[in-house]
Structure 1
Amino acid sequence: MEAKPISDFPQHLTWEEIKIHNGRGQSQQQWLVIDRNVYDVSTFSKQHPGGSRVISHYAGQDATDAFVAFHNDKALVRKYLKSLLIGELAPDQPSFESNKKKSLLEDFRELRCTVEKMGLLKPNYTFFFMIFLHLLVLDAASWLMIWYFGISLVPFLVGMAFFTIAQIQMGWFQHDLGHCSVFRKPKWNHLLQIIVINILKGLPASWWNHLHNQHHAKPNCFRKDPDLNMHPLLFSLGKTLSVEVSKQIVKKSKLCHKRFKDRKL
């Protein structure tokens, strides 16, 4: 089906029209839906702060929940979205694709609302300060151990233990910073993340964010979740076993969903 110029489309759009604008096939355009509004992100995806792949993974789909999860200052982001608006879903169209289960979406959104009301997403600054402080102490202690006691077996093993623990903990700390879960403003999260992962660990923050954002945008989706795509390279799982792993995770998710509904009843 050949894509029509955007100007030829009516203000009210159907899912059939939206699905073909997924960036693949004859149509290279990328449309997505947020709160029933339809946006053309074909050009914007290249300037998207979270990376072009994250936003393109939702081309031709509803991205409402991903939008809520990924953006802290939603009012600011919506200002940028205004220029990308091309229409809205027709009144007779559902708010999401037909292959999505309404009850599952409703339960997920109710759970997220409950978590927010309970304050579970609010960071504890004292906790994160102590985490960062003990990382610096462990890292410094590992080098001081070698410098003061030399490279004999016992000091080397103790220093290696300090260094290994510090490096592993740094990985999890920069993970929280990458999710912008420590400070209110993203720029402070990104700045400290660069210090932790770039300087203390020697890895690029941009590389980690590029892969991890995709993982949370499309978790456990083969060809879209880098964690699954790396299986053949890192663990020799191959495509078949990667797909089987995904199926098992989906089964567990459905079981958790059933238990959650049983508790509500």
Structure 2
Amino acid sequence: MIPAKAPAAGLRLLTWEEIGQRNGRGPAPQERWLVIDRKVYDISQFYRRHPGGARLLVSHAGQDATDAFVAFHPDKVLVNKYLKPLQIGELAPDQPSIEPTKNEMLVKDFRELRATVERMGLLEPNQLFFFLLLAHILLLDTAAWLILLYFGTSLVPFVLSLLVLTISQVQASWLQHDLGHLSVFRKAKWNHLLHKFVMCHLIGASANWWTLLHSQHHAKPNCFHKDPDIDMHPFLFTLGKKFSVEYRGWKIHSTLKAGET
């Protein structure tokens, strides 16, 4: 049997039970810990300064955040510099790498699928496609206003302009989605800059607001009180309160059935 490697000086060996109690509630309401690659980090103070928003980090308190960390941080070398001072320990050798409350086979299958997708290059963007998409959106926007300028605001030109502008806005919403996911350019800053242009100037909404809520959604999809997409107030649903409650109840039921936490 290979002897367990001793932790670095000043670090503790911890169990999942101890970590699970540091979730901001229960016996230690002021403490919040999480696990990334078997390393345990104390985020009790840092979560307020987290660039991605406090709620996103708090949603993983007391849990394993390895997969979320991999998905949300392209430059892991840079992020690890900020993580290092927060490390307080490691999982004890007898503790499993995958959180006991999670489906181990499902987690392994997901990680294998992600590795396969990356190896096949399916996440490599076609930048020409996105350039042509942006040009297409700008042309539609321009056409919508030119229709009103040359033909006036009578019913037919107004409806035609509305149709063209609607197509443009829908296309722009999908483009900003991909830019918000940092999936168009290799450098994050170019994604951020173009995302702000499309979201703020073409659509007329806040890029930061969208990024904050959408990041929370992908961090804990379909988890009640953690995914803002299922915490929407009924008035956001055009079909009324009854549909809203039933829809939310269905999503919660699906989440519980899938065993997510």
The normalised TM-score by structure 2 is 0.89
- Give yes or no for contact 2:223–2:255 (8 Å, CA) kept in 1: no
- The one-letter code matched in structure 1 to 2:225 is R
The match for 2:210 among 208, 211, 218 is 208
- The one-letter code matched in structure 2 to 1:144 is L
Structure 2 unaligned spans of 5+:
1-9
- The one-letter code matched in structure 2 to 1:27 is P
- The aligned residue for residue 176 of structure 1 is 178
Paired with 2:246 and 2:165, the residues of 1 have a C-alpha distance of: 37
Structure 1 stretches (4+) deviating beyond 6 angstroms?
Answer: none
- Give yes or no for contact 1:61–1:96 (8 Å, CA) kept in 2: no
- Give yes or no for contact 1:222–1:243 (8 Å, CA) kept in 2: no
The normalised TM-score by structure 1 is 0.87
**Identical positions, percent:** 59
Change (3 A) 1:250 1:179: farther
The match for 2:117 among 115, 118, 130 is 115
Deviation at 1:245, TM superposition (A): 2.3
The match for 1:131 among 109, 130, 133 is 133
Paired with 1:172 and 1:94, the residues of 2 have a C-alpha distance of: 40
- The 5-angstrom pairing of residues 215-230 of structure 1 reads 215-230=217-232
Paired with 2:14 and 2:89, the residues of 1 have a C-alpha distance of: 7
- The aligned residue for residue 7 of structure 2 is none
- The aligned residue for residue 243 of structure 1 is 249
Paired with 1:184 and 1:123, the residues of 2 have a C-alpha distance of: 9
- Give yes or no for contact 2:11–2:90 (8 Å, CA) kept in 1: no
- The aligned residue for residue 58 of structure 1 is 60
The match for 1:199 among 166, 179, 201 is 201
Deviation at 1:240, TM superposition (A): 6.4
State yes or no: 1:24 paired with 2:12.
Answer: no
Superposition CA RMSD, Å: 1.8
- The aligned residue for residue 39 of structure 2 is 37
Deviation at 1:238, TM superposition (A): 5.5
- Give yes or no for contact 1:197–1:204 (8 Å, CA) kept in 2: yes
Deviation at 1:250, TM superposition (A): 6.8
CA-to-aligned-CA distance 1:100-133 (integer Å, 9 cap, x gap): 1111111101100110011111111100000111
The size of the alignment, in residue pairs, is: 245
- Give yes or no for contact 1:23–1:30 (8 Å, CA) kept in 2: yes
